[in-house]
Amino acid sequence: MSEIRALTEIRHRNIVKLYSFCSHSRHSLLVYEYLEGGSLVQSINSEEQAKALDWIKRVNIVKDVANALSYMHHDCSLSIIHRNISSKNVLLDGKCVAHISDFDTARLLTLDSSNLTSLAGTIGYMAPELAYTMEINEKCDVYSFGVLALEIIMGKYPVDLISSLSSSLPSSSTFTTHMLLDDVLDQRLSLPTNQVASDVLSIAKIAIACLQTIPQSRPTMKQVSQDLSTLKPRLAKPLHMITLGDTVDVKA
């Protein structure tokens, strides 16, 4: 329960406040703050709510989650690994500010103890290396973030895209998908324009980098957070001409 005790002490605008907890041999109870916006997955799956979740809000939600994970991984006295990042575990407040929740599977990383653990997380968001190793680190959360970021801009779980990417990465120079980016973006919204279009493209690039098969090839959440906060130049070509292949960094 050391992880839970640590979480009662941290404060970050994008992490749900854990007020208290009760531990029992058979059950445990966690008391979180209430957020009226509900879960992100509910908003994405609802036609009405998804349309209200415009591109600016979605870009900010991605940034919110990245900032929270960067804080957990790099700014706490002991790194906290969430292990279950998914759209059901991101809650929204009344202003659509995102908050990471559900820390019952979280782990503290320490230098003097084993980081081997039992399997935990949501199928489809878990890093592929967890299929053959029980050792967790920050890169597991990074992979889950990549899946979530794609889900946010696509408006659905990116199962086909992840399958396509997994057969191409990490040798991303062989990534030959010519599908247009605007064909995979959430069709319930009009195409983003101007600065927001640059931000959406940046999210797509970062998300794909986070899905690298080799954990060491994935960026850190601090790098992701800093990259997302950097002002992006205008697109060199219209968004409707950008392909998925354009989102892959061949240097990765």
- Six token digits for residue 155: 């408006």
pLDDT tens for the chain, 252 residues long, are 556 777 777 889 999 998 888 877 787 788 889 999 999 999 999 999 999 999 999 999 999 999 999 999 999 888 899 999 999 999 999 999 999 998 776 777 655 544 445 455 678 899 999 888 778 899 999 999 999 999 999 999 999 888 877 765 544 444 546 888 999 999 999 999 999 999 999 999 999 999 999 999 999 999 999 999 998 888 989 999 999 888 876 444
Question: Cα–Cα distance between 121 and 84 in angstroms, integer?
Answer: 4
- Other Cβ atoms closer than 10 A to 120: 17
- Six token digits for residue 60: 């900010």
Angle at 106 between CA 101 and CA 108, to 5 degrees: 130
List, in order of start, the domains of the chain with CATH numbers: 2-247 (1.10.510.10)
- Six token digits for residue 50: 């998804």
CA distance to 154, 172, 179, 235, 241, per residue, from 151 (Å): 5, 21, 17, 22, 21
Question: Cα–Cα distance between 182 and 148 in angstroms, integer?
Answer: 18
Of residues 126, 112, 141, 166, the one with CA closest to residue 224: 141
Indicate the pairing of strand 18-23 with strand 28-32.
antiparallel
